Every structure is written in C-alpha cells, then in structure tokens.
Amino acid sequence: MKQFISTKQLEELSDKAKDKLRKWWKPIGNEFIYTPTFEKGERTKKWSVMIMNETWMEDWNWMKKRYEWVEDALPLLSIGQMIDFLNDQDKKRHEYWIGDVMDSSQDTPVPLYKGELCDALWKAVKEILEK
C-alpha cells in the first residue's frame, strides 16, 4: 500500500495551492520533504527529497531564518497527514475505506474518490488546495 504522495503529484499543484499547503503544514519531524537544490550556493531548477529528522525539528526556526529554501520546502504528505488536512479543511464528513474516500454526511455514503487510498486522498486534498 502506498503511504506517501509522490513528487510528481506535488508538482501538479499550482503555486497558489503550494502556498496554501505550506501555510497549513506544521513540520513534525521524521517526515519526507521536497526541497529545492543548490550548486555552488546557487539555486537550481532541480528539487530533491530529504528526510527531516528530529534534529532538524529542533533547528527548524533557526533554519528558516538562515536558509531561504526552508520556506519553499513542501511535505510529501502521508495518508495520516492527508486525513488531518481533510478534517481541518473540509466541511464534509469523510469515511476512508480501502481505495475510496466517501462522503458520509448523506444517509447513503457517496464515493468521492476511488483508487489506491493514498491517491484517492490526494485527489480530495488537491481539490481543496486548488479552490
């Protein structure tokens, strides 16, 4: 079972949606982040995946002041983070079944998104971020 969104999925977001995601995201440590890369002190057009460990978390505020790329970092959202996001942002009551995200605010649950659970959640998150 897929646990995290891919970098390709993150790149589907508009700049406005990426900013919304950054605003919502509260780094917790031990998570994958997508960051711009630098060569000889210059920012490149390439991005890379890093694991933000607990040491980073202790220095996160210091790093934000010192390194410009920290402000641009994006999380490779996990299933749990996407559920948290949907619960924080969306007024619908969701149920999560293997492969489906359901709107259970009706008498009969209505499938909103189908497929691999991670991808179905991503579709729901992306829709909200792009509004």
Gap between the Cα atoms of 96 and 83, Å rounded:
9
pLDDT (0 to 100) of residue 122: 92
pLDDT (0 to 100) of residue 51: 73
One DSSP character per residue, 75-106 reads: E--BHHHHHHHHHHH-SS-EEEETTEEEE-SS
Ranges under pLDDT 50 in the chain? none
pLDDT (0 to 100) of residue 60: 62
pLDDT (0 to 100) of residue 111: 64
